[in-house]
Amino acid sequence: MRLLIRYMGPVIVSPRVESEDLHLSWSRSLSLTARILAVNLFVLALFSGGLFFLDSYRGQLIANREAIARQQALIIRETLPSFDDQKKAAFLQKFGQLSQSRIRIFNRAGVKIMDSSARGPAAYNLNDPAQESWQKMAARLLDVGFDFMVMAPRLETFLEPAHDTANAWSELQDRSSGQVKSTTRLAPDFTHMINAAATAPGGDFSVLSTTNAREIRQLVRAERLRIGIFFMIILIIAILLSLFLARTIVRPLRRLAYAAVRVRLGRDPEVSVPRLPSRRDEIGMLARALSDMSNALRQRIDATEAFAADVAHEIKNPLASLRSALDGMEHVSDPALHKQLMDVAKADVKRMDRLISDISEASRVDAQLAKAKFELIDLGDMIEQLLLAREHRGRDGNVQIAFARPRKGVALILGEDIRLERVLNNLIDNAVSFSPPGGLVQISATRAESHIVIRVSDEGPGVPKQEREAIFRRFHSERPPAEQFGKHSGLGLAIARTIVEGHGGTINVFDREDGRSGACFEIALPIPEDKPG
């Protein structure tokens, strides 16, 4: 009983629709270069999300600055009553200079009674944007763009009131609670103005501290510049890496595609598919596979063309003989000569029929082997049954055949039994036809390392060394002198080699090992790897 093991090769089908894991939807129209760039730039776009953290950093700076301003307002509110009227103004001026703030004091009625900037330099100056340099104007435009991208909340514009009273400041609208409040506004030049207000518990006076916190904008711009420089460096690197990937991936793929198109069109008889021997990645594997495939295809086409030419040449001979016989029959009245020409015509027809059958077999054997089911075969049993069938039909005449039958289970291979029987029959027929009357044909099947070796030896004239490769060519025929002409097509050994090589084996011819006259055909077939020793 034979066990089905595997297929020799898969049936190749070219589907019209990609499989689910290869299907592309919206990106199918993009080139590979565009996809590489898009992926790298998308990662950079995610990196640009760091700008939102920069906005958070700015918010933290503002919160810290407001907390400091509130602390200062509290200090002034708690400390100011301890000074007499003459020292209060000096204290506020000194405090304002140290904190770089403008301190205003309003009485219960909301009238300003003290101002730290009244008798000294101003704590801040509001710059007119129209009078500044283009560099600062460009920086403000970047600020606007940055605030728009991060969707920062819009701050009120800071303006000094025309009438500087407590009611002009929203922080001092409720002066009875005694709470400390702070607000942040933007000056015309987009710098931050921090206000902190504190009202005395009894409502006798209110303190308003105003600070132009320019360092907030400066720190944010400095961080943004560092992030921008870093982003540009990464952007340049990403683009260069994308171009490098495009060069190392897209360009060789494009060249392979162009070469494949030229092979398909067949306009260039010698299309050179780049093998990319220096590459050890998947593209290198693809290049070498395509090169090997195109070489095999070219060899197959060349072999097909040569085969067609040989077929035409071989058919012309019996066809010419048949035409000559038929033409002669029209002009011959002698019955004996007429019968002789008819016999020639019949022989030519049989020869053509045999030739066409063998040609058909030779042309199909490759394709059929590619789709054949391989089974586990015991070559000892196969050869034994083959010899019994030959003996029953009397095919061997007076030639003796000796078979050294191996032990059962020793000569096991994977193959197609019908094809292998064809090979063995061809070799045995060949050995019998070249053996002298009463000769001996010896057959053996032995195991040699990873192969099963089959030898068929005869006692004929042997095969000269210069002919040992030629006899396996199609339509090459060297037959015994006594054999009737046209009985063989010259395809038997060619078909045998094709079948053996289709099984992963080899077939060759040597002299007999014992030094006697004769030929020894040797077949080596691989032992299946999953077969235990």
Within-domain flag for 193? yes
* 304 plus 359 within the same structural domain: yes
* 417 plus 286 within the same structural domain: no
> Could you tell me if 522 and 390 are in contact, meaning their C-beta atoms sit under 8 angstroms apart?
no
* 363 plus 501 within the same structural domain: no
CA distances from 491 to 123, 402, 432, 475 (A): 110, 26, 17, 5
Within-domain flag for 3? no
* 286 plus 339 within the same structural domain: yes
Mean pLDDT, each 10-residue run in order, the chain (533 residues) = 35 45 51 70 66 78 92 90 85 89 90 86 81 79 76 84 89 74 89 91 87 89 82 81 77 81 70 76 80 78 69 69 78 79 78 69 64 82 87 79 85 86 87 87 88 90 85 66 50 82 89 86 86 45
Say which CATH number the domain at 173 has.
Answer: 3.30.450
> Could you tell me if 396 and 432 are in contact, meaning their C-beta atoms sit under 8 angstroms apart?
yes
Within-domain flag for 30? no
Provide the number of structural domains found in the chain.
3
CA distances from 214 to 127, 149, 211, 358, 448 (A): 12, 22, 9, 99, 91
Residues in the chain: 533
* 65 plus 125 within the same structural domain: yes
* 317 plus 389 within the same structural domain: no
* 394 plus 528 within the same structural domain: yes
Say which CATH number the domain at 318 has.
Answer: 1.10.287.130
pLDDT of residue 67: 93
pLDDT of residue 65: 92
Within-domain flag for 25? no
Own/partner pairs for 460-467, CB < 8 Å, 24+ apart? Answer: 460/431, 460/434, 460/435, 460/436, 460/517, 460/518, 460/519, 461/434, 461/517, 461/518, 462/511, 462/512, 462/517, 462/518, 462/519, 463/509, 463/519
* 387 plus 431 within the same structural domain: yes
* 361 plus 437 within the same structural domain: no
CB burial class (10 A; 0-12, 13-18, 19+) of residue 464?
Answer: exposed
Report the amino acid identity of residue 214. Answer: R
Within-domain flag for 291? yes
Identify the domain boundary among 161, 183, 215.
215
Identify the domain boundary among 337, 371, 405.
371
Identify the domain boundary among 170, 195, 215.
215
* 291 plus 386 within the same structural domain: no
Print the domain residue range for 124: 50-215
Within-domain flag for 256? no
The owner of tokens 């235990």 is: 532
Q: How many CB atoms lie within 10 A of CB 270?
A: 5
Give the closest residue to 422 by CA, choosing from 360, 343, 492, 349: 492
Say which CATH number the domain at 471 has.
Answer: 3.30.565.10
β-pair type (440-448, 400-404):
parallel
Within-domain flag for 112? yes
> Could you tell me if 492 and 477 are in contact, meaning their C-beta atoms sit under 8 angstroms apart?
no
| Residue 455, helix vs strand vs coil | strand
* 335 plus 378 within the same structural domain: no
CA–CA separation, 403 and 288 (whole Å)? 45
* 204 plus 283 within the same structural domain: no
Within-domain flag for 232? no
